């Protein structure tokens, strides 16, 4: 398939994003998570501030507060003091959160929209997307 315009590229990127979102949503059954909660858990491999988590989830900090409140109520995350900034809190996984995140990550590797790409192609795609986003 030959791409003729930037519009074609944009349509393909949007379609891939939709497929990734659909894939995420289809694998949430049995985990008791919303898509937003799953996105947050996916990003919490290490403790993050609310601002960092919002950036990674591509949403407003106020939305992340709601998501983290729900995850905290479910015992999956906790807010801890930031080691370098008294005003900030970091969100980190509890033991239950680590278990749930591991289950989630296993689910997300099943039938991924990126499965047709080999490791070199995934790396190339990542490099090209980084280049496009940073310009």
pLDDT tens, 56-106?
A: 999 988 899 999 999 999 999 999 998 888 888 899 999 999 999 999 999
Alpha-carbon distance of 104 to 109, in angstroms, equals: 9
Domain segments of the chain as ranges:
6-134
Which residues lie closer than 8 Å to 59 by C-beta, 6 or more apart? Answer: 36
Percent of the chain with pLDDT over 70: 97
The CATH number fitting domain 6-134, selected from 3.40.50.1360, 3.30.930.10, 1.10.10.10, 1.10.3720.10:
1.10.10.10
């Amino acid at each position: 398939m030959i791409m003729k315009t930037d519009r074609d590229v944009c349509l393909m990127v949007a379609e891939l994003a939709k497929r990734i979102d659909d894939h995420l949503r289809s694998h949430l059954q049995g985990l008791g998570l919303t898509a937003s909660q799953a996105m947050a858990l996916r990003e919490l491999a290490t403790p993050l501030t609310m601002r960092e988590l919002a950036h990674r989830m591509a949403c407003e900090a106020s939305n992340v507060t709601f998501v983290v409140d729900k995850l905290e109520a479910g015992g999956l995350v906790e807010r801890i003091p930031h080691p370098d900034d008294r005003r900030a809190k970091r969100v980190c996984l509890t033991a239950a959160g680590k278990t749930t995140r591991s289950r989630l990550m296993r689910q997300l590797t099943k039938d991924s929209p990126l499965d047709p790409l080999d490791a070199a192609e995934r790396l190339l795609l990542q490099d090209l997307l980084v280049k496009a986003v940073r310009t």
